[in-house]
Every structure is written in structure tokens, then in C-alpha cells.
Structure 1
């Protein structure tokens, strides 16, 4: 199979004459929901085009909490169906995407007088086991708990609860799904914005697209337009006269060096200020801490960033759970914030809003939004179920299929964990990635689990148009390294500038833009 985006492919976009092709679906939005729909539609014979106004996974799908989880907290809210659905999809991803989706054990301290209390927590875990068809030992005494998590607070510690969920690199998951969709004939284009909807007889029939790279516009028609823009969904729906339904909620995170907060388990706790769940867990060679859940009042047209109040909130959680670590803001490598597309039900407390997805049809525009990263396949199939009556002549039972094709095995050129990681992230293109590596590029970039070769491959074959695409989404170096990886930029340039065919002026302009973005949105607020 060819690489998902051949070198030079994006720069030749006008020659592709997208406007002249016949499309069954025009999918607007390049996050995990849009990618999932593109995959499920393409493998079922539909001619589908996905467009994204920024970069793939630019919005919520690169700024999530990185957890592929069954929604344990939804049990407390009585959402048994959502939890069952999430558990099944989590287990499917663990089976089919090893190295990209990995098990993660969680530990929750049982403190005297703490909430939700041992009995309630263990009841939830018993239901969790029942839904997943597994049985685990969930309670340990304080001595064993401290052996598992030696740096937690010890005062009033009676023991602890343990369970297993999963984690992923959310942006790489989106890229892997898009790659799979491309293998079935799907087309995905980044930096191509839907400026306005096209209509005929009052019905949406396409969109006017603006090329943010080359400038220029074209009108693309399709039998059905799907709005998969997440937190931005009301913008397109508003063009049909529909009333707003989205409540944008911001979730912010801290990134710390693994040596400063070393964890083998993910540690979950109830925040001392409001009893919301907060966690810290090992991810990609660093430790992630999150998340907040607050109304996002800023414009969705600007990139989200953590606020001073959110930093203080997360630091208080760390000080409470890990008092002996002496953590302070100087330990923070990076921050990031994402905006969740939550359906507004009028709850006063943002955290009490439901996390189910929703599908609406307005003047022929099908909108799908909300939901969880874990259940992207379920969401995609539900969107296509609603699409069937709008696509006369197309018939499919829409039964779940394996998410990814059979795994490609790399042999012994990489060690076990590294080999599994590359196989999981790159699928059928993994052998070509290794073949493209120059001497020394199969070594890890210090402080990360990323190979230098991944930078070359992304620059050559993964539609990188700006340095931020490379360092914040194709790889996560901008989150894992202090200063956004500034000390490695010379070597990154030596590897990637020839692959991107950028002039010195283009590189320097993109580098300056990346560093300005990092300082404004991924560092501590000034």
C-alpha cells in the first residue's frame, strides 16, 4: 500500500480537480469523528472526501486526556449503556491496535472519610468487570498500595482500589484511521476550509472550500454533507438556521518529566476543592496531569490555552496527592488545552453534562458531534445509519468491522516495545518508515519514546505543511520536551527541511511561528 500522503501530493491539490469529481459524502472535520466516518464510509463503497480547515486532529482530537476508557464515572450517573459501549470499544482497540492503544492500570487511594467511598467504588468496579467479561482483584491494603504507588500521601490512607483501562496517542490514532480510510479509496485534505454551504432548493448540496495553503477556492458537491466539526458544529449548523446546541467545555493538562513524578500506575483522585476526578499517569515518556472541565468562553477561532486558575487547580491536586514530591511550576514541561463538544442540557455544573454523542439533520446537513474518543467507531456507524435514508440506492447493514487491517510485522530490526509501537502507529507503512531511516535515526530522541526516523517519515509522507503539524501532532515533541524541543531544532531541521523541500526562509518563518505558538499556548500562562 502507498503512503497515505505522497511527497508533493498536497502542493498539487488544484490539479486534483476535487470539484469535478462525484462524491457521495463530503465530510467536514478532520478529528477522530470525521476520520472514523471516512473509514467506515470508504470501506463500504461510498466515494468520500474529508476536508479539515486546519491540520488533522488540530482540535479536540490532539488535546484529549489520551485515555481510551470505559467511562467508569458514567456508572455513577446511571449511564450503563454508554459504559457498556465504551468498554466494548476499548477492548476492540486493545486487540487490534496494540502499540498504539495500550493497557493502563489505575490506582485510587482509599482515604478515611474520602469520597466516593470504598463500597461505592468497588460496586462500580464489579459492574465494570461484568460489562467487560473480566475479573480483577480491585482492593489492596495500605502496605501493598504504597508498594504500587510509593509517592502518594500517607495520612489516613486505609488502602486502595485498582482497575485497568487504556491509553493512546490521540493524534496518531486519527492519522492511523485516516491511513486506513485512504487504503479503501477515501480522500482526506488538511488546510482546506469549508467557508460556506452550497444549497439547491433549500437543501445543502455541498460546500465552497478555501485552500489555506495555495489561496484559491472551489465548490464541491456531494450527495450528502456531514458536519463532523465537533465543538465548531454550531457554526455550520447556523448557516441552515438551526439553533445552537453545543456547550464548549475546556479541558486543560500539565506535562511533567517522568523523573519528577515517576509513576508505574495511573493515579486517580477526587480533587479537594470540588470532588471532581483528576489523574496523573505515565504517557510517552512523560507524566500527564489533568483534567479541568470549565466553560470555554473564548472564541473557537483561536487556539485554546490553559488559564492561571486551571494551573492552580491542577497544582493543588498534585500537592494534595503527592505532598512529599515538593512539585512546583518550575517542574512543568508543557501545558495543553482542548475544547470538548458537549451537548448543552442546561446543567449548572459543566461536569454534570452528558458525554453522549448526537446526530441532527438540518436542511439536508447531517451533523454528528459529542461522544468520546473511545467510541469513535460507534459514532461513525450511527452517523451512517442516519445517512442511509439520505443516500438512495446505498445499502449496507453497517455491522462493525475490524477497525484496522491485519498487523504488519517488522521483524527484528527494532526491540520488542519499540517494534510494537511502530507497528501500532504506522500499520502497513511501518516497513517503509524503517527503510527510509538514515544511519542513527532508529535511536530515540532523548526524553521521549520517539525515533528520529519518525520525523523524516512524517515530513516525507504525512502532509506536514507547518512545523507545528510535525512537532505537536505527527510527533508529540512539543509536549514532551522543554521549550517545545527548541534544543533539538537544528537536527530536526537537518532531517526534515530537505524532505519538505522548504527554502531556508520558509523553514525560519515556520520555526518562528511554531515557537510563538508554543510560548502562547503550550507553556505556563504569563
Structure 2
């Protein structure tokens, strides 16, 4: 990916996409494979908003069993399978255990019926997935002894066993977005970060492009397009209203979904579902409360998800210290053995997602149902503009395909959908991931710790040798940074080939350095020096970049800090 803003002004594109999160990235990939000329711009860095703050779960739709929503079950399963196929380095199955107490609707036999129904409805879930380690197994019941062995800290009074199912888990959500973007750029899409759409260009009742501004220099310019796709997530309605005065027929309700990270794991590599304090009002049949999840992820545990209806500006939300304390209290009540304190939280993630319709101050919240694709020719009598509001990260590929179907009709281009559910994206040309790791480990001449090499293979997959080749230029560049699993060459690759322009791009989104906790001052200094040599930064600029990253991490015992561009909160 090369950031060349002069290229963006030189022609009229078939499609201009606003938004570089997972939905925009998947739309660009789908459109460019159909032969469309595509430009994509993102006002911040790619995947710096909601997409970066995912709970890392690729949902297969099992929760929709209790809603009786067969269509959503099938759609979710299809999209989970697609990601397991096209990005085997970044997505893998995650076994999840739901303990059961007593009998009836809280017992394991009702859950067994649900698992059986789900397995029957998703019997094709492993179609064309060659790697046995990437296949989703059937659900099964665990005995009381089996579940206690997995989770010795569970309350045993009344424990009857557990139900176990598998979903998908992302190794790194930002790298998954980047993989779609890198694939799109390689296929011909022209992409730029830190470019904001500040207005729409209109002519004779249609949108014909956007007025854009380079956020780094302030320069303004136009990008012409036959169709514009607004894929800006929770910012979509604000953009439409501010620049065009448009309001959607049904105003969106958004949930600030939050989870947090702790730098330790439970005894098991299985996720654990525990009962929280709220119910699902849409469920036809449900247990006593919604589930909260404690999920192993790399060397950490993810805990969530908590939902709060948010009605303000998307740039303004945060997770407060009071809320974190309430979250900790709720999870400790649900699973006392965790014995968690607020001080132990190393990071929180939060993003805004479309939610269901809820009354003010409702406790039991209705989740969002499906993504929304708006044809503004039908709703506002303005041609050339489409809005895509996605509900779940998992659904981005399929929902983007539907949006590009509409774009194709507007372009009067009868082209079949590309096989994006089967075509590997950047790094995904791997049939069996663990065999691939073994082969690379055996033949690699780079003096890397096994853990660092495995992390490299997760993040870059079959393209890992692009990174190791930097060692031919300077052998020191294949050394790890501080105590991390990240090597210096990943920073160089991010600058030269992945459009990293700021230190925060490297620390939070191109590498693993700050995806779980503060990486340390040495790591920041090393990355800043590497970027300075590539980009010609002065010592003053290096210092500014380091201080900007540090501001995202609170110090001196503070618990919460909000950064509107990265939307990441961290506790040190």
C-alpha cells in the first residue's frame, strides 16, 4: 500500500469508499475483484475505530438458536467458515464451556438440544476447510468431573456439568483488516489513511465524489466517483446529517460494547461463559441471564462484553473508572475464583455498534439484528450514494458483498460476485497452519525465539518471508524489540508497505506491541528511531510521537483515558 494522494485526484473511480474498518476493507476487496476501479479513504488510521476494539470472537450464530432465527444462524456460520478459509493465520476455533447448574432450562439437557439443533443447521460449517485444526467440531456435553478439571475454581454446589461448543477467534483484528486492504491494493485499489471526507460533491441530483482533506497537511482536494459508499460505521449517520442534511428513516441506536484485558490466563485454554446480571428480552427461551465470557487470547484473558446504549457523538464516548469497577464487581460475582481487581486490568477496548430498539434506561437490552444497507436514491432521491451500517465484525465480508451488488446495479455492470469466501487474503495461502509453522521453524535461518517466529507467522502468514528478507539488508532488523515477540523488520515493513505514518499506527495496529498492555518505554523508543530513519523525522518529531502514544496510556495509577482517534483505553 502506497499513499499517493495525487493519484486519487487524477481520475473518476467506479467506487469511492469512505471508511477503512472491516466493512470498508471487505467492500474494497469485493469491488476490485469485480473489476471496478476503487478508491478508499480513512480519516484516521485503518482499523482504528470499532474494528480495532473487537472482542476477537468470530461468531457462528449459536446464540440465535434461542431466538429461533435460522437465517442469522446460517449467515453467521457461513461468514465464520469464510474467515477460517481465507485467513487461517488469523482465525482459529475457540472451544467455549457453559457450566450448568440444576435442571430444566438451567440444566445441560436443554443446552444439549440447542447444540444438536445448531449442529444440524450448520452441518456444512467445515466445507472446503482443509486444515483439521481450523474445523469447527460438534458441540458436546461435559460431565461434572470434566468441567471441574477444566475450571477448578467453579462453584461446585449444584454443578451438573457443562455444554461445550466452538466459535472462532481472531489472533489480531487489526491485522485482519490490513490483510483485506493489502489484498485490495495488490489487486489495484488505491487506498489512503488520514484522509477525511469533509463533504460530498453533488451534481444534478446525484453524488459524484467527495471533498477530502489530508489530515496530516491540511491540504484539500476532490476524489471523483460514479458511486460513493459510506462505510464509516457509527460515524455514518453524523456524516450524512452534517454534510447532506440526511436522516435515516429509522435513526440508529448504538451500543458502546466494552471488554477488558488482563495479563494472565485461567487454567484452561477454553473460554468460560458465566451468567451476568441482565437478560435477553428477544430470546424465545433463555437461561436466567445473559452470559459474560472469560476468553484466553495469546498470553492474556479477555473479559466481556458489556453493553451501554450511547446516544452522543461517536468521538466522545469513554469507559469510566466507575464503570470498570462495576464490570469487575459483576464478573467477580459470576466467577469468584477470578478474584479480579481494577488495578490488574491492562487495557480496555470499546467500540460503537448498531443496537436494537430500547427504551430509555432499559436494563435488559435488545441487540442489533442485521446490518443496514441504504440506497439513498430510494430514501432521499439522491443517486450515487450508498450507506453500509454493519452490526458485527464477523458479517463484514457477506454484507459488503450485498452492498457491492447494489453498487454494481448502479454502475449497470452485470458481473458475478467474486469468490471472496474462498480466495485467500494477504498471508492466507496456508493449507495446514501448524504444519506450516513446523516447516518454517525447521528451515528458518533467522535467530528468532520460537514465540516470536510464531507471532510473525500469525500476523503475516504465507507472506512472512517479506519480513525476514529485511535481514539481508541489516541482520539487526530481525531481532526482537525489547521483551516483545515483535521484530524490528515488522516496523520497517509497516512503514514501507503498509502505510504506517505515525508511531501509534505501529504500536497499536501494525504489530502486537500494544494490543494487550503497555509495551514499555524501550519499545516506543526503538520503534520511533526506526520510523525516524525511514521518514526523516527530527528528534523533536520523535519525541512528539512518543508522547502522543504515551498519552493513550494513563500513568500514575489512573485507570481510564480516552483517545478519540484510537479509541483504546489502557490501565497501567
TM-score by length of 2: 0.82
Report the CA distance between 1:424 and its aligned residue: 4.9
SS in 1 for 2:43: coil
Matched, 1:509 2:544: yes
Report the CA distance between 1:91 and its aligned residue: 1.7
Matched, 1:430 2:464: yes
Contact 1:285 1:447 in 2 (8 A): no
- Residue equivalent to 1:387: 407
SS in 2 for 1:84: helix
Q: CA-to-partner distance for each residue in 1:308-334, whole Å, 9 max, x for gaps?
A: 343134312431344234321221111
CA distance in 1, matches of 2:332, 2:92: 28
Greater CA deviation, 81-90 or 24-33?
81-90
- Residue equivalent to 1:407: 429
Describe how 1:141-290 pairs up with structure 2 within 5 A. Answer: 141-168=143-170, 169-238=172-241, 239-244=243-248, 245-258=251-264, 261-272=266-277, 274=279, 275-290=289-304
Report the CA distance between 1:151 and its aligned residue: 3.1
CA distance in 1, matches of 2:47, 2:22: 7
CA distance in 2, matches of 1:449, 1:375: 30
Runs of at least 5 residues in structure 1 that lack an aligned partner in the other structure: none
SS in 2 for 1:291: strand
SS in 2 for 1:153: coil
SS in 1 for 2:253: strand
**Structure 1 moving runs of 4+ over 6 Å:** 414-418
SS in 2 for 1:155: coil
Greater CA deviation, 190-199 or 404-413?
404-413
Contact 1:36 1:380 in 2 (8 A): yes
Contact 2:182 2:498 in 1 (8 A): no
CA distance in 2, matches of 1:205, 1:343: 33
| Residue 511 of structure 2, aligned match among 470, 475, 489 | 475
CA distance in 1, matches of 2:247, 2:507: 37
| Residue 49 of structure 1, aligned match among 17, 39, 42 | 39
Contact 1:107 1:160 in 2 (8 A): yes
Contact 2:456 2:486 in 1 (8 A): no
| Residue 331 of structure 1, aligned match among 331, 344, 351 | 344
CA distance in 2, matches of 1:36, 1:101: 16
Pair 420,126 (structure 1): closer, same or farther in 2 beyond 3 Å: farther
Pair 525,420 (structure 1): closer, same or farther in 2 beyond 3 Å: closer
Contact 1:125 1:163 in 2 (8 A): yes
Contact 2:278 2:364 in 1 (8 A): no
CA distance in 2, matches of 1:384, 1:523: 34
Report the CA distance between 1:214 and its aligned residue: 1.7
TM-score by length of 1: 0.89
CA distance in 2, matches of 1:123, 1:187: 49
Greater CA deviation, 153-162 or 130-139?
130-139
Report the CA distance between 1:176 and its aligned residue: 0.3
Describe how 1:434-449 pairs up with structure 2 within 5 A. Answer: 434-437=468-471, 439=475, 442=478, 449=485
Contact 2:102 2:158 in 1 (8 A): yes
Contact 2:358 2:365 in 1 (8 A): no
| Residue 293 of structure 1, aligned match among 307, 326, 343 | 307
| Residue 328 of structure 2, aligned match among 315, 321, 325 | 315
Report the CA distance between 1:230 and its aligned residue: 0.9
Contact 1:248 1:341 in 2 (8 A): yes
Q: CA-to-partner distance for each residue in 1:243-282, whole Å, 9 max, x for gaps?
A: 24221210111111125x4541111122045522211111
Report the CA distance between 1:108 and its aligned residue: 1.2
Report the CA distance between 1:96 and its aligned residue: 2.8
CA distance in 2, matches of 1:151, 1:312: 22
Report the CA distance between 1:446 and its aligned residue: 7.1
Contact 1:180 1:404 in 2 (8 A): no
Greater CA deviation, 311-320 or 398-407?
398-407
Contact 1:68 1:374 in 2 (8 A): yes
SS in 2 for 1:480: coil
Report the CA distance between 1:399 and its aligned residue: 5.0
CA distance in 2, matches of 1:469, 1:112: 49
- Residue equivalent to 2:75: 85
CA distance in 2, matches of 1:84, 1:444: 43
- Residue equivalent to 1:497: 532
Report the CA distance between 1:440 and its aligned residue: 6.1
Greater CA deviation, 236-245 or 58-67?
236-245
Q: CA-to-partner distance for each residue in 1:220-255, whole Å, 9 max, x for gaps?
A: 111100111111111233244432422121011111
Contact 1:251 1:294 in 2 (8 A): yes
Report the CA distance between 1:153 and its aligned residue: 3.1
SS in 2 for 1:292: strand
Q: CA-to-partner distance for each residue in 1:372-409, whole Å, 9 max, x for gaps?
A: 211211111100111222102x1112153324256167
Greater CA deviation, 450-459 or 68-77?
450-459
Q: CA-to-partner distance for each residue in 1:117-139, whole Å, 9 max, x for gaps?
A: 43332222222212332763511
Report the CA distance between 1:512 and its aligned residue: 0.9
- Residue equivalent to 2:49: 59
Report the CA distance between 1:466 and its aligned residue: 1.8
Q: CA-to-partner distance for each residue in 1:140-169, whole Å, 9 max, x for gaps?
A: 112111212233333332211111111111
Pair 367,83 (structure 1): closer, same or farther in 2 beyond 3 Å: same
- Residue equivalent to 1:130: 120
CA distance in 2, matches of 1:446, 1:344: 48
Q: CA-to-partner distance for each residue in 1:405-459, whole Å, 9 max, x for gaps?
A: 5616784327888666544532564211111145466566677654444233223
